[in-house]
Homo-oligomer: A and B are copies of this chain.
Amino acid sequence: MAGEFDLIRQFFTHQAPSVRVGVGDDCAVFDVEPGAQLATSTDLLLEGRHFFSDIDPFKLGHKALAVNLSDLGAMGAKPIGCLLGLGLSNFNHSWLERFSAGFHALANKHGCPLIGGDTTRSEQGIIISVTVFGSVRAPFLTRASACDGDDIWVSGPLGAADVALSLLMRAQQGEALSDPEHELLEKTRPCLEMPAPRVELGLSLRNLAHAVIDISDGLLQDLSHILQASNKGAVLYVSQIPVNPAITHFAPAQKLKAVLGGGDVYELCFTAPASARKKIRMAGNESGLSLSMIGSITSGNKLKVLDEDLIEIQDLPSGFDHFR
């Protein structure tokens, strides 16, 4: 159903002169004054679709801001502030207290204060809309900037969020999880519910990386967005893709699905010239993140994924489409 996404986008893509980066990237970038550019992004989170009704409100407050800060990170933008639109079906003091505590804790950590918003009664469950602002400088880390021969990098080990989501969905449907599954859920759910947005890393990639994206739709789908926007191809080496330790014992196909296809991941995937390798490793060390070089950008526009034996995988898992 990715086609529907494209169709929807066509109605809303109008380019304007003051806009440096428009509809379709992690952030929009526009001129406030000559020499002062702002990056901004908005996300809508709906109960039952983007989070379970019984989620800890502290974690929900954290995540609602995290997914937006992740977009600033992918743009190499320095957070300035945010807005919160909140639709609630009733007034629950302790829920609001915990939600706002989770929100503010992350906001404080990244210097991104809540500066305004809107509150409304909703008959349709909890509705959260967050908008973030950050300052940026050219050259912008857009999706369209990948170059032939660039290395492809990814931050952090992958796969945990997808596994946690599958287990939580089964539990929500009343299925009893086994003890090892419970243990697996406890290990993986922080990646799903308390993702750490890569704001610091994004800032340090300015003047190092070419194209950057967060992989909220999954590694394969979001890398495809870079390839489409840059009109390039890529080769990925499965053996180089970092896998979360909690799922290394999975069968290869299951692991591949989680790592390549699993969405709701707020790590950064980026491309950079080979000459930047040393500085990128240093940037990773400074952010306390392990960065992995997982492939390279090629001419043409095909995405090839090579297995451990360097044989091309034909049956790739599909990405996460919010409009499916």
Contacts and interface: CB of A to CB of B under 8 A. Distances in A.
A122 interface: yes
Interface string A71-108: 00000000011011111100101001101100110010
A30 B122 contact: no
A104 to B, nearest CB: 6
A250 interface: no
B28 A38 contact: no
Interface residues of A, number: 73
A83 B127 contact: no
A124 B23 contact: no
Nearest to A81: B30
A5 to B, nearest CB: 7
B28 A123 contact: no
User: What is the oligomeric copy number?
Assistant: 2
A49 B117 contact: no
A83 B12 CA distance: 10
A217 to B, nearest CB: 12
A30 B324 CA distance: 37
Given A121-B323, A121-B324, 20 more contacts: A9-B119, A11-B97, A11-B100, A16-B113, A18-B81, A30-B80, A30-B115, A32-B32, A33-B36, A38-B133, A40-B131, A41-B83, A43-B85, A44-B118, A49-B120, A119-B322, A120-B322, A121-B322, A122-B124, A131-B131
Interface of A: 4-5, 7-9, 11-12, 14-16, 18-19, 22-25, 27-28, 30-33, 35-36, 38, 40-44, 46-50, 80-81, 83-88, 91, 93, 96-97, 99-100, 103-104, 107, 113-125, 127, 129, 131, 133, 135, 322-324
